[in-house]
Structure 1
Amino acid sequence: MSDTPIRLLCHCGTLRQAVRAITKVYDAKLSRHGIKITQFTILSVVKERGRVTTGELAKGLLMDSTTLSRTLATLKRAGLVDCEVGAEDLRERYWRVTRLGSSTLNKSQKDWQDAQEELRMAAGMQNVRDIDARAYDVASRLASLS
């Protein structure tokens, strides 16, 4: 079997193929820090926001809350994030990045940048820009449907 992906008729399947190929690039670079690109992304958003609920994260990242909760639990076990229970709603969790999480993000930044550059070099700068712009546009349009 060749390295060429199977051409699919399904838009979702084709996008998922691209996402898996891109994910491999980032995960390979970030592996020495003990995190995957999905975790890096969540850590980055939580750090940027300072303190954020699971619901806010799920909505902003367009993730289902079950998958997000599993990833947050993994990050918490690793000591990269911490949470506190909501004062008014005990079901609500407020997440923040720990010192170790901040340190991990800082140390992995260069490798993340290297993955960004590898993707640009392999796919072409204009292709990457087009994918980013179009994927965000599609995500924004479809987010309003749910």
Structure 2
Amino acid sequence: MSNAVEIPFATTLLVRDTCLCLHAQRAARALARLFDEALRPVGLTNGQFSLMMSLNRPEPPPMGPVAKLLAMDQTTLTAALKPLQRKGWVDITTNPRDRRGRLLSLTAEGKAVLAAAVPIWESTHKALEDALPDGNGHRLRQDLLALA
């Protein structure tokens, strides 16, 4: 004899229609696909573009602040850096102030790839914002930042 609890289908519909997490995940996947496709000609994914852009600083940043900015742990960041390092786009060096730490920087080739990607990102981003109600993403960005 089964004592399984039955969840009403109406609850499924309620979650489908109102769950902020579900809607954020769906939007994130759609945006990821859009930017992955747009950035493919320069050999980047949207995640790699964001990671490389986070390294575009006057001084090479340590791993901790980059991981925090990208909302990932350092193990995940290390894994994400490996293909960029293999392509010769990112350098990982020992921090001279703390030999246990690592500093991250773009190579000249990495900067060139990123420079080629920026106009693609700009045009894709503009088209996306133009498609939003009122033609800008300011409110959406504010709402997302409030949740982050």
What TM-score comes out, normalization by structure 1 length?
A: 0.81
> Are 1:29 and 1:114, in contact at CA under 8 Å, matched by a contact in 2?
no
Q: Which moved more, 1:20-29 or 1:46-55?
A: 46-55
Structure 2 partner of 1:112 = 121
Identify unmatched segments of 5+ residues in structure 1.
1-5, 140-146
Structure 2 partner of 1:142 = none
Give the whole-Å Cα distance in 2 for the aligned partners of 1:13 and 1:67.
23
Give the whole-Å Cα distance in 2 for the aligned partners of 1:88 and 1:109.
32
Query: Which amino acid letter does the alignment assign opposite residue 144 of structure 2?
Result: A
Distance 1:65 1:49, change over 3 A: farther
Give the whole-Å Cα distance in 1 for the aligned partners of 2:75 and 2:24.
22
> Which secondary structure state, in structure 2, belongs to the residue aligned with residue 32 of structure 1?
helix
Structure 2 partner of 1:128 = 137
Does 2:52 match 1:43?
Answer: yes
Give the whole-Å Cα distance in 1 for the aligned partners of 2:28 and 2:17.
14
Larger radius of gyration: 2
Aligned-pair distance for 1:119?
0.9
> Are 1:25 and 1:119, in contact at CA under 8 Å, matched by a contact in 2?
no
> Are 2:89 and 2:107, in contact at CA under 8 Å, matched by a contact in 1?
yes
Distance 1:64 1:128, change over 3 A: same
Query: Which amino acid letter does the alignment assign opposite residue 32 of structure 1?
Result: P
Distance 1:135 1:7, change over 3 A: same
Share of identical aligned residues, percent?
Answer: 28
Identify unmatched segments of 5+ residues in structure 2.
1-14
Count of aligned positions: 134
- Aligned-pair RMSD on alpha carbons? 2.0
- Of residues 18, 35, 38 in structure 2, which corresponds to 1:29? 38
Structure 2 partner of 1:18 = 27
Structure 2 partner of 1:70 = 79
